[in-house]
Amino acid sequence: MAGCFAPNPKTAMEAGPLLFVPQILFAGFFVDLSEVPAFLRWVQYLCSLKYAMNLLFLAEFSDQPGGEVVLEANDVEEDLKWAYILLLLALLITFRLIGLIGLTRKAITVY
């Protein structure tokens, strides 16, 4: 999506880490989300990596002995499996539409 709004490929490559590093942070890799300041916690709901990781945790640990400990430690609820899938699809569609808008605006200015 960054490439759709960037004026050139170099700028798009430089913007990539600015979009991906917060995904890693708010997916719970480095910091437990309970330690993130309350005014920033809402960002986790915009991170597709969080929903993908929750689905991965469910696939790996839901049927394993002791798996509920891992799921609980990562704040993953088995009852929300379909919610994770639907939210991941919703984010995919939303980000694609935002990219489409960016490319359409860029095409109008070029042609």
Question: Tell me, what's the pLDDT at 58?
Answer: 95
Which one-letter amino acid corresponds to residue 29? Answer: F
Would you call 38 helix, strand, or coil by DSSP?
A: helix
d(C-alpha 28, C-alpha 34), whole Å = 9
By percentage, how much of the chain surpasses pLDDT 70? 100
CA 54 from centre of chain: 11
Contact 33, 75 (CB under 8 A): yes
CB 32 within 8 A of CB 73: no
Q: Please state, in angstroms and rounded to a whole number, the distance separating the CA atoms of residues 11 and 26.
A: 24
86: which 2 tokens? 């639907």
The percent of residues above 90 in pLDDT, for the chain, comes to 44
Size of the chain in residues: 111
Among 60-64, 77-81, 106-110, where is mean pLDDT lowest? 106-110
Q: What is the pLDDT of residues 10-50, one digit of tens each?
A: 998 998 888 888 888 888 878 888 888 889 889 888 899 99
d(CA 106, CA 111): 9
